[in-house]
Structure formats: structure tokens, C-alpha cells
Amino acid sequence: MEPAVSLAVCALLFLLWVRVKGLEFVLIHQRWVFVCLFLLPLSLIFDIYYYVRAWVVFRLSSAPRLHGQRVRDIQKQVREWKEQGSKTFMCTGRPGWLTVSLRVGKYKKTHKNIMINLMDILEVDTKKQIVRVEPLVTMGQVTALLTSIGWTLPVLPELDDLTVGGLIMGTGIESSSHKYGLFQHICTAYELVLADGSFVRCTPSENSDLFYAVPWSCGTLGFLVAAEIRIIPAKKYIKLRFEPVRGLEAICDKFTRESQRPENHFVEGLLYSLDEAVIMTGVMTDEAEPSKLNNIGSYYKPWFFKHVENYLKANKGGLEYIPLRHYYHRHTRSIFWELQDIIPFGNNPIFRYLFGWMVPPKISLLKLTQGETLRKLYEQHHVVQDMLVPMKCLSQAVHTFHNDIHVYPIWLCPFILPSQPGLVHPKGDEAELYVDIGAYGEPRVKHFEARSCMRQLEKFVRSVHGFQMLYADCYMSREEFWEMFDGSLYHRLREQLGCQDAFPEVYDKICKAARH
Ligand SMILES: Cc1cc2nc3c(=O)[nH]c(=O)nc-3n(C[C@H](O)[C@H](O)[C@H](O)COP(=O)(O)OP(=O)(O)OC[C@H]3O[C@@H](n4cnc5c(N)ncnc54)[C@H](O)[C@@H]3O)c2cc1C
């Protein structure tokens, strides 16, 4: 048969199938059809556009010249809002569907949207070891530029599309956080436009209250217009050790010990059941044994979490050399393990070789096209949560996750939490080792009910002086929220800076009622 005729027959059969099953059924239960046919090509076009744009802007050095003008434009918008009587709160004008968080804030429709068109890397100063960036710069942009000139961020959150603004105003973490802390702890200065339209720069020694209050405030103290972030020299590879461990106590012991060893640049754990895990430790190196080189980020390679699982199945440790950028974005192609629910055959070698170069679909486009029915289904039958708890409570926390939601794999990422003022700090006066427990997927617990199960989990996290990441669904009441987070500095600054009439309180932005 002629190729055109075969194509036409296939298209006809497909349309017939959609007609018989109904469009809604196909969109909900066979989402891969829509994702593979439409979202993957669209995502690719999106990515190419942003990559080329960032490259051209940086090459022409036009960003630093235009930055001042762009900031003045934001100040002008804020002053106009004030002159018009400050009728509603303000928020950033970035559409909700463009963010990585799976939720879309309802407030975008009712608040005054301030357009912040700041998406460029402004300056790399290798002498001071600082990169100055605008808030919409993404992690993909940062690694593409910095690693090409031999530098990197000490903490480089995993997904390509995460933005500097979102990681500072929300949270950012990576497997090097046991050494360097959260994303906010590698930042040395923030530049903001405040509620009165004024511009301010803050550092640990200059306007330090504001500097410590900004992280996790979700844009409720001002608009971030630039940030300075530490950089460190990069090496070509990560020498990564994989070690399967069995028994929860042995897992917790091993994971804690590895997180305390300063010679480990990277520590990560993937928990595949209550008592089976693979713990990975990595160091940066310029040398690699060619036979152990693994370009894990290449489109035809197996998904990272599946590759790691093979070590568990074989019950044998291993050593690999992974190119730095491939390591940083190792969970990007499978969006951790979220993509297996959308494209169930996505890790099949045939799919990977034929279409893997288009994967993953952009989270923003997935959100934009999910529709109300699918959104509600996701809410009731899907969990995306990161809970940060003291490392000493890891075993108790894993048991609680197991009983309340039962989602595997679970992501374990250690981090050091310095004792600093602000919304998030340890209970005592000293830095404390914490762990981020990430649960993404379909809960297998019997009779899962999102609200009650999540409230139970939140209660546990509060009881051990832990924190919930604010991008996720939060079912806490206002009182419970302020029991979890230290609002003393935050509330004082909101009053001082006139934020109460300009921005909602952080709880009102992130609580369940505020989001679709
Ligand atoms: C599937 C998934 C995977 C994830 N993986 C990781 C991961 O690997 N590592 C990690 O650290 N985190 C991860 N996260 C969580 C992520 O850290 C948060 O979603 C974070 O807030 C960044 O998202 P964003 O860049 O889309 O920011 P946004 O959602 O756009 O912003 C977060 C908050 O900051 C505010 N904000 C943003 N820019 C500004 C600005 N210029 N001025 C004022 N306010 C601003 C926004 O209003 C919003 O309240 C993941 C989340 C999901 C859903």
C-alpha cells in the first residue's frame, strides 16, 4: 500500500475509535494518544524557541543593557496600580499553567497581574564566583551556559523548567544540598521591587531582614527582579556509586552516614518499597574509565529510576561515570516517575529510539490541556508532595508515608538546614541535617481520600518540626500552617513594607482553597 493511503487508513481508524469511545474517554483514559500526537511535538518547538532565544540574547550581551529598563517598567506598573487606588492584590503576570507546580492559582484571575519579562542570565563573574540572573531564567538555561564554561551552581535543582524566581520564592533542592543547603542558601543577594514601587537590594549584611524573609514567601513581600548566586568550578563527570540496601533500619543508617560524609558531593536515595532502596553517592571528576561511562541523559537510554532499579533487582552494587549535565537532569526525561502514568510504554526501547528525543512533554502544556475532569481525577487519585523532615525521623517518616499514602518509588534527598531567621529553620540553634521525602504517583493505600490522608501526613510533619513544600496541595488550616512555619520575621516585614494591601498572605496563595 502507498504510504499516504496507509496513513489515511490509520487516521480513519483512529477517528472511528475516538467516535466510538468518546473524546472525553480517550483524553482521560488514553492520554498518551493526545500527548504523543500533539504535546510532544509542541513541547519540542517550545524548547527550541527558548534555547535559541537565550543563546542569542547572551551572545549579543543585550540583557544587562536592557535589564535596568525592564526593572523600571515593573516599578512603573506597581506605581500605576497604587495611583489607581490599590484596588486588588498584585501577583506576577506569568500564567499559572506555565509553572512547574501542578496547581494553577485562582488568584491570577482576580489580582492585578504585574508583567515580569525577565528571563536572561545577566553576568557570570568567575573571580567573585557569582552568577547574576533574572528570575525567569530556568535551570536548563543555567546548566547549558555554566557547564559549557566550566562552572556550575552548587545546588542545581533537577527539572530543566524550574525557574530561579520559583526556586527562591518557593523552594529548591538537589542531591548536593547535604553540603550546600537549599537553593536559597547558595544565593548571596536579591533585588526586589517593593509594594510602593521602590527598588531594593538585600544581602546577609544589607537589608538582612528582607534577605532572610524572602525565601518561601511566594512573592508576598515584593517582586524579585534579579538574584546573585554562588558558582563553583565544574568537572566533566559524576563518579556515581549505586548500592542496593535492604531493611528500613539499614537504609536509614546508610543514608544518614553517607549524607554526613563531606567527601560525597552528591547523595540520593530511591526507595522502591518499605524496605528496599538504592542509595547513590557521587563525586565530581574529570577522569572517567571509558568502559563505565554512561550517557544516561541520551534520549534512547532507559529512564534513570528504572536503570537504578536494575541494581536492586540484581542485588549488586555498581559504579558509573555520568556526564555532569546528564546527571543534573537525570530525572527530567521521565519527570521523576510521573511520565509512566501518562505514557505507560515510554521506557520501552522501541518508543525511546523512535520518539525518545521528543520526551518529556512540557509540564506547562500538560497542565494547560488537562481539563477539569482530569484535574479532579488527579486530585483524588494522585499525589505530588515533598515533605522535609529531620533526618533523625526518617524511619518514622517512611512508615507514615507507607501507611498514609503508599506511593513508590520515594525520592530521598538529604539537605543541611542552617539556623537562620526566616520561615524555615531548625528547631534548635544549630544547623540540622534534614531529608526531603518526595512522593509522586498514584496512592496504593486502600480507600485513599486525598484530604484526610494528606491532613494526617501534614500533622505528622508538623509534629517532627518538618515542612511541606509550598508548590504542592496544602490541606492545613491557617493556624496549622503558622504552627509549621515561623511567621515572626515575615509578618513584621509585611507590616513594615506595606505588603498587607499589596500582596495576599503566603497561606492565602498556597492553601487548597486558593487553587484549582
Ligand atoms: C513534578 C514536579 C517536580 C519537581 N521537581 C523538583 C526538583 O527536582 N527540585 C526542586 O527543588 N523542586 C522541584 N519541584 C518543586 C519546585 O521547586 C517548585 O514548584 C518551585 O516553586 C519552582 O517552580 P517554578 O519555577 O515553576 O516557580 P513558580 O511556581 O512560578 O513560582 C513559585 C512561587 O514563587 C513566586 N514567584 C516566582 N517568581 C517570582 C518573582 N519574580 N517575584 C515574586 N514572586 C515570584 C510565584 O508567585 C509562586 O508563588 C518539583 C515540582 C513538581 C510539581
Shortest-distance atom of ligand 1 to CA 219: 44
DSSP 382-437: -EEEEEEEEGGGHHHHHHHHHHHT--SSEEEEEEEE---SSS---SSSS-EEEEEE
| Contact in structure between 243 and 315 (CB atoms under 8 Å) | no
From the CB of 394, is ligand 1 less than 6 Å away? no
| Contact in structure between 510 and 474 (CB atoms under 8 Å) | yes
Shortest-distance atom of ligand 1 to CA 138: 25
Shortest-distance atom of ligand 1 to CA 157: 9
The answer, yes or no, to whether residue 447 has pLDDT greater than 60, is yes
In terms of C-beta density within 10 A (0-12 exposed, 13-18 middle, 19 or more buried), how is residue 457 classed? Answer: buried
The answer, yes or no, to whether residue 431 has pLDDT greater than 90, is yes
CA of 335 to the centre of ligand 1 (A): 15
Distance, CA of 400 to CA of 461 (rounded, Å): 10
* pTM for the model: 0.90
pLDDT tier at 36 (50, 70, 90 boundaries)? confident
The answer, yes or no, to whether residue 54 has pLDDT greater than 90, is no
pLDDT digits (tens, 9 = 90+) for 305-331: 999 999 999 999 999 999 999 999 999
The answer, yes or no, to whether residue 381 has pLDDT greater than 90, is no
pLDDT tier at 374 (50, 70, 90 boundaries)? low
From the CB of 218, is ligand 1 less than 6 Å away? yes
CA of 166 to the centre of ligand 1 (A): 4
pLDDT tier at 62 (50, 70, 90 boundaries)? low
Q: What separation, in Å, do the N-terminal and C-terminal C-alpha atoms of the chain show? A: 49
In this prediction, residue 196 carries a pLDDT of 96
| Contact in structure between 217 and 508 (CB atoms under 8 Å) | no
| Contact in structure between 391 and 259 (CB atoms under 8 Å) | yes
CA of 117 to the centre of ligand 1 (A): 17
From the CB of 163, is ligand 1 less than 6 Å away? yes
In this prediction, residue 159 carries a pLDDT of 83
CA of 195 to the centre of ligand 1 (A): 22
| Contact in structure between 408 and 271 (CB atoms under 8 Å) | yes
Distance, CA of 328 to CA of 159 (rounded, Å): 8
CA of 170 to the centre of ligand 1 (A): 5
pLDDT tier at 4 (50, 70, 90 boundaries)? confident
Shortest-distance atom of ligand 1 to CA 99: 26
In this prediction, residue 63 carries a pLDDT of 67
| Contact in structure between 491 and 237 (CB atoms under 8 Å) | no
